[in-house]
Amino acid sequence: MSFKEWFVKRSPLPEMWREHMAEYYAPKNFNIFYYAGSLLLLMVVLQFLSGFLVLAHYIPTAEGAYDSVYGIMYDVHYGWLMQYMHVDGVSLIFVLLYVHMARGMLYGSYRSPRELVWIIGYTTYLAFMAEAFFGYVLPYSNLSYWAGTVITSLLKSIPFIGGWVTTLVRGGPGMSGDTLGRFMALHVTLVFLVIVGLIVFHILYLHKVGSNNPDGIEIKANKGPDGHPVDGIPFHPYYSVKDLFGFGVWLIIFGAIIFYAPTFHHIFLERTMSTPANPLKSLPDVTPPWYLSPFYAMLRSIPNKNAGIILMVFAVLIPFVLPWLDRNPVKSTRYRPITRIMLLIFFINFFVLAYLGEQPPLPKYFFMERLGAFIYVAFFILLPFVSKFEPTRTPPARVRFHAH
């Protein structure tokens, strides 16, 4: 008996390889947006590696945190590389998350039978938000300090138990070294493991129902004599080599940012990250990182604290029910011109909100912020009606694909 036979008899790996790679049939008409999924996996691995190595030099105390983080930049061999990988990696992960979600919305990937894939994926996005938040408090810069203070104070508006929860999260009446200890524990263990687990489930649930595609039609409905979808190709080798090429392009972008624009004009690494925490000196304006700022803009667009928080929570949670808001039998917006226009407005509006959330809290922005919040909410309210009555074109029976 060869070693291979001996191993195969005992290992589930060959079977898993077949099920998820060699004999997982994916539609052959994936376009450029479909790189985002595999790139996210790559980024999570890189984020884990760089995070592991910066953690090795980090000190979670109020006195030591800031200096230890800058000690990585100055004193650790290639510390700057680990640090910039970890910092810029966050922003790039959110770029990919937004592309990945926008693609799902464009082609109706959240629709039946993929509702759970969408819900698990959206939960992963929320977990990434938490992970990013805990992460940027850890350097204990003045931005960390005030961002941590502001975000944890949001918890105070939870009815009845708000005060208790806030103290529990902070480990005291305000931000302190104790907060850093628990945030580090959350950042490197609990939330990270939740993200990994959710990613595994996201893929397993996807592979159970099969991938959607830009035409939004089910390839499983049209099977060849071999029992495989005629418009499907095995993930390995076709999509695995394609994703390798995608990795290459993406790493060039990532590398160019790290080597030539590590702060990305202070969008990826804010200026206020470069001054230590000072409880006596609030920042001129506390703005969140760009990837959270759309929700922040909505929060402050309403001149009432609790109403603002309710609007923000609503804006964050409403996408969970998206699979049930869309009532059109056609999935892909390629064949639904009105929804497509609505979606494009929604995406542009999201960018505008992100920009507004970064601006100082001046009255001249209030109108724009309210308009943005209105468009965001209106999209979800209009969708059930528009999707029910909009005119559609008939999707093709087979996926559109031009052989190379």
Partner 1 sequence: MSDERQDSKHAPNVTRRRFLTALVTVSGAAVAGTIAVPMVKSLDPTAAAAALATTTIDLNPIEPGMQMVALWQEKPVIVVNRTPEMLATLDESEQKGILKDPNCNVPQQPPYCKNKYRSRVPEWYVGIKICNHLCCIPHYRPKKASVAPWWLGGFHCPCHGSMYDLSARVIKGSPAPHNMAVPEYDIDVAKKTVVVTKMYPLAHLC
Partner 2 sequence: MKRYVVWAGMALGLLAGSASGAFADNGPQLLTPHYTYNAKTIISGARLFATNCMACHSIKFMRYEFLTHDLGMSKSDVHKYVMLPTGSTFKDNMISAMPTGMAHKWFGLPPPDLSQMVRYKSQDWIYTYLLSFYRDPKRPSGWNNHVFPNVAMPDVLAPYGGIVNEHGKLLRAGDESPQKFKEQVTDIVAFLRFVSDPSVVQRHDKGPWVLGLLAFFTIVAYFLKKEYWKEVK
In this structure, what token pair is assigned to residue 3? 């070693």
Q: How far is CA 222 from CA 141, 218, 219, 398, in A?
A: 57, 8, 6, 8
| Interaction partner, residue 56 (partner 2, partner 1, none; CB < 5-8 Å by kind) | partner 1
If the CB atoms of residues 271 and 388 are measured against partner 2, the closer one turns out to be 271
| Interaction partner, residue 8 (partner 2, partner 1, none; CB < 5-8 Å by kind) | none
**260: contact with partner 2 by CB under 8 A:** yes
In this structure, what token pair is assigned to residue 159? 């009815």
Gyration radius of the chain's alpha carbons: 23
Rounded to the nearest 10 degrees, the angle between the axes of helix 115-137 and helix 79-107 is: 150
Q: Which of 100, 88, 97 is nearest to 46 (CA)?
A: 88
| Interaction partner, residue 77 (partner 2, partner 1, none; CB < 5-8 Å by kind) | partner 1
**242: contact with partner 2 by CB under 8 A:** yes
CB under 8 A: which stretch of 25-33, 52-60, 103-111, 320-328 binds partner 1?
52-60
- Contact with partner 2 (CB under 8 A): which of 92, 132, 233, 325? 233
Given its phi and psi angles, is residue 31 left (phi above 0), alpha (psi -120 to 50 degrees) or beta?
A: beta
If the CB atoms of residues 70 and 201 are measured against partner 1, the closer one turns out to be 70
Omega within 30 of 0 (cis) for the link into 337: no
CB of 262 to partner 1, least distance (A): 15
3 state SS of 325: helix
Omega within 30 of 0 (cis) for the link into 113: yes
CB under 8 A: which stretch of 20-28, 46-54, 346-354, 368-376 binds partner 1?
46-54
| Interaction partner, residue 49 (partner 1, partner 2, none; CB < 5-8 Å by kind) | partner 1
**271: contact with partner 2 by CB under 8 A:** yes
**76: contact with partner 1 by CB under 8 A:** yes
CB 354 within 8 A of CB 282: no
Q: Cα(first)–Cα(last) distance of the chain, in Å?
A: 43
Window 78-117: residues binding partner 1 (CB under 8 A): 78-79, 81-82
CB under 8 A: which stretch of 48-56, 159-167, 286-294, 385-393 binds partner 1?
48-56
CB of 50 to partner 2, least distance (A): 14
**49: contact with partner 1 by CB under 8 A:** yes
Beta bridge partners of 25: 234
Rounded Cα gap, residues 3 and 8, in angstroms: 9
Omega within 30 of 0 (cis) for the link into 237: yes
| Interaction partner, residue 18 (partner 2, partner 1, none; CB < 5-8 Å by kind) | none
If the CB atoms of residues 8 and 244 are measured against partner 2, the closer one turns out to be 244
**73: contact with partner 1 by CB under 8 A:** no
CB of 81 to partner 1, least distance (A): 5
Q: Taking CB under 8 A as the rule, which mask of x and - marks residues 57-76 in contact with partner 2?
A: ----------x--xx-xxx-
Q: How far is CA 42 from CA 33, 393, 404, in A?
A: 15, 37, 27
Rounded Cα gap, residues 161 and 114, in angstroms: 36
Please report the DSSP string for 164-211 in residue order: HHHHHHHTSSS--HHHHHHHHHIIIIIHHHHHHHHHHHHHHHHHHH--
CB 63 within 8 A of CB 177: yes
Residue 258 φ/ψ, nearest 5 degrees: -60, -45
Window 225-264: residues binding partner 1 (CB under 8 A): 241, 244, 251
If the CB atoms of residues 61 and 392 are measured against partner 1, the closer one turns out to be 61
CB under 8 A: which stretch of 32-40, 48-56, 120-128, 251-259 binds partner 2?
251-259
- Contact with partner 2 (CB under 8 A): which of 17, 48, 201, 247? 247
Rounded Cα gap, residues 168 and 188, in angstroms: 19
- How many residues of this chain interact with partner 2, rule: CB under 8 A? 39
CB of 232 to partner 2, least distance (A): 10
| Interaction partner, residue 256 (partner 2, partner 1, none; CB < 5-8 Å by kind) | partner 2
| Interaction partner, residue 260 (partner 1, partner 2, none; CB < 5-8 Å by kind) | partner 2
Residues near partner 1, by CB under 8 A: 46, 49-50, 53, 56-57, 71, 74-79, 81-82, 241, 244, 251, 403
